[in-house]
Structure 1
Amino acid sequence: MEFRRKKLQIVVRSPDLGLPARCLTLAPDLTLRRLKLAFLPGILLRQPLAFESLYFDLGGRPLTDSSTLTDAGIAAGSSAVLTLRLRLRGGGGDGGATGAESRDCYLNMYAIKKPDKVDPNETRLSKWTTCALSGEPLAPPVVVDRLGNLFNKEALVEALIHKNIPKEFSHIRGLKDMIPIHLSLNPGAANSETRFECPITGLEFNGKYGFLVLRGCGHVLSVKALKEVKSSACLVCHKEFSESDKLVINGSTEEVAVLRERMEEERSKLKERKEKKASAHLSGTKHAGDEHDRILDNGRKVGGAKRFKAMDMVPANATKEVYASIFTSSKKSNFKETFSCRSLPLGRN
């Protein structure tokens, strides 16, 4: 009985945190700090700043965490209500809140898990070892677009057929925008982070070093190899190339901008050539028609060239009229020709 008389019936609530009110039977010497530890959810207990920002008050009077229930003035048999409140810091320069933020926002700052940071090394390696469209590891046949992005040819062709190319690769319109490339296998690929390397310098194809593809032959070489060996021919197949044949793979923003400008210029020139060819074709047809119209009825052109006549090529020992009937009506008459037969006069068919 003595034990029961020492116990206190207390209601603990926290409207600031949205926690349900609880009726507890507690010992008079229990500190408010221990009560706070028992009342709060585990997620707030793991945040020291949030824990220290909470305090109890009794009838509007704030209480310290080191106070016991007896120190707070709670007597046995009284109906005490302890309220757990959130202390808002402010004033500027102390790292606290200004009071403008909602309390829910403050609590969610600790409750919501922040997304994991992406390792830049993994992002870089993925860009050089996987297909930019499917995300699968690069496997021959491999192609590169005019902006230096790497693709597995099968995945890119399938996307073109089904017309589901992402917006970022909308510049790829057909097979002409794909450049087949030859990647040199790395003999020590088992102990390396990439399967491919430069065939001249042995530098790994992993994004740590710059690489170029020669559009004429498709061989992939490191920038270092082309700098050290001054040559206008491919160092692998010895095919001649020009400066415009060099295409940077996975270049910087500035390098991609240069490649895009070059691509638009090439497309513009191709369009002009097609328009000139179509214009020349149309003008040639019209000229031929004009020449035909200039032929006179007497078999001569305005320019003086004689028109071809079958009678001029009569074989030896052949009758001219019989030979001419092969190409024209067998006999001229005053009768009108019909649609069905030129040789029969009107009224006889």
Structure 2
Amino acid sequence: MKSEAQIHQIFVRFGDPQIPTRSMIFRNPSTNFTLRHLKSSLFPGAPESIFFTLNGKPLSDATPLFANSRIAPFSTLTANFRLCGGGGDGGATGAESRDCYLNMYAVKKPDKADPNELRLSKWVNCSLSNEPLRHPVVIDKLGNLFNKEALVEGLLSKNLPKEFGYIKGLKDMIPVELVQIPGVRGGDGAVKFQCPISGLEFNGNYKFFAMKSCGHVLSAKSLKEVKSSACLVCLKEFTENDKIVINGSEDEVTALWEKMKEEKAKKDIGKKSKKLSNANEEKPGQLADNGKKRRIESAKGDSNGVSKKFKATDTMPANATKAVYESIFTSAKKSNFKETYSCRSLPLGRN
């Protein structure tokens, strides 16, 4: 008599709800049948990307399907698909929060400025308006370049930045002469300048000096090769103090700043000494006024406080006759002259 066939039935559910659950029936299953064999029968060609779970707990591929007491008949296995990644590949790891992403994209990092562009901008644009340089051009005592029109407008409107607070008026501006390169313009249409002697371009790659005495701008190379105490363009004499480096280094700007403070201190001392000298000097008429005051004070009273009556003879010249001098100011003697409201009459007996 044949024994009844052993039937083992399980259900396979898929992680994707669109795939229906499958019922698997096995007759007289082998004890060596594992989950790897089940995957090969269900998903030919891709067994490594799928794993089974039972009641939420993962099972290895070597787990026997029928000899395992955990997988009882009519159990439901869930087939899960492994996803690529899992960390380190730029994907999410589950550790990040929503705020982390919001903060990362909320603050935009500023673009790094090209140092070459920044350097060139200082040589071809106005330091105040950032517009291309155009005549008339001026520099300050620290070697910064400006369009004169923009700088004057800033002074009149009193809205200069704090970094240019030392510029108080036209006396703090030095007019300069920039030589244009004929027929050459930048990408924005701005003109380009050069050294009139060496032809070096005015773009920050070379050092340039401005002459306070005449305003011409020359390259350091020209001044070094042609050693002269006169300007190489107009032949006007200059000294080392007349040379101002344009857009100099930090140390050069510091030296110019100290030089500017020394000049200001000397000017203030000169103004104070001039005021003192003017105060000590007396005007030509002041001596006479002081003498007159002293005479009036002496006429009012002596040192004991007794008042004196002023007499004309007190100030009589040395060679003058007393009687004649007194008669000029007052009648010292009584006479028989009869005076009227308009004139003195002749003596009685003569009319």
How high is the TM-score relative to the length of structure 1? 0.57
Q: CA deviation at 1:244?
A: 0.3
Q: How many residues get paired?
A: 237
1:184 paired with 2:171, answer no
1:258 paired with 2:251, answer no
Distance 1:247 1:162 in 2: 28
1:245 paired with 2:253, answer no
Q: CA deviation at 1:187?
A: 1.8
The structure number with the bigger radius of gyration is 2
| Distance of aligned partners of 1:249 and 1:67 in 2 relative to their CA distance in 1, 3 Å threshold | same
Tell me whether 107-116 or 147-156 shows the greater mean CA deviation.
Answer: 107-116
1:282 paired with 2:279, answer yes
Is the 1:194–1:206 Cα contact (8 Å) retained in structure 2? no
- Summarize deviations over 1:292-342 as a string: whole Å, max 9, x none: 3135759xxxxxxxx9x9xxxxxxxxxxxxxxxxxxxx9979xxxxxxxxx
Determine the structure 2 residue equivalent to 1:32: none
Determine the structure 2 residue equivalent to 1:166: 161
Segments of structure 2 that go 5 or more residues without pairing to the other structure are 1-11, 22-47, 58-74, 79-85, 89-94, 297-314, 318-327, 332-341, 343-351
Segments of structure 1 that go 5 or more residues without pairing to the other structure are 10-24, 30-65, 80-86, 90-98, 299-306, 310-329, 334-343, 345-349
Distance 2:19 2:106 in 1: 32
Determine the structure 2 residue equivalent to 1:236: 233
Identical amino acids, percent of aligned pairs: 52
Distance 2:286 2:97 in 1: 85
Distance 1:172 1:220 in 2: 21
Q: CA deviation at 1:7?
A: 5.9
Distance 2:121 2:186 in 1: 17
Q: CA deviation at 1:189?
A: 1.5
Counterpart secondary structure, 2:149: helix
Distance 2:49 2:256 in 1: 72
- Summarize deviations over 1:165-184 as a string: whole Å, max 9, x none: 00111111111100000001
Tell me whether 179-188 or 207-216 shows the greater mean CA deviation.
Answer: 179-188
Q: Within 5 Å, give how 1:146-161 maps onto structure 2.
A: 146-161=141-156
Determine the structure 2 residue equivalent to 1:204: 201
Counterpart secondary structure, 1:132: coil
Is the 1:233–1:239 Cα contact (8 Å) retained in structure 2? yes
Determine the structure 2 residue equivalent to 1:124: 119
Tell me whether 138-147 or 103-112 shows the greater mean CA deviation.
Answer: 103-112
Q: Runs in 1 of length 4+ with deviation above 6 angstroms?
A: 75-79, 330-333
Q: CA deviation at 1:283?
A: 1.5
Residue among 268, 271, 276 paired with 1:271: 268
| Distance of aligned partners of 1:72 and 1:245 in 2 relative to their CA distance in 1, 3 Å threshold | farther
Q: CA deviation at 1:291?
A: 5.4
Counterpart secondary structure, 1:155: helix
Distance 1:287 1:102 in 2: 92
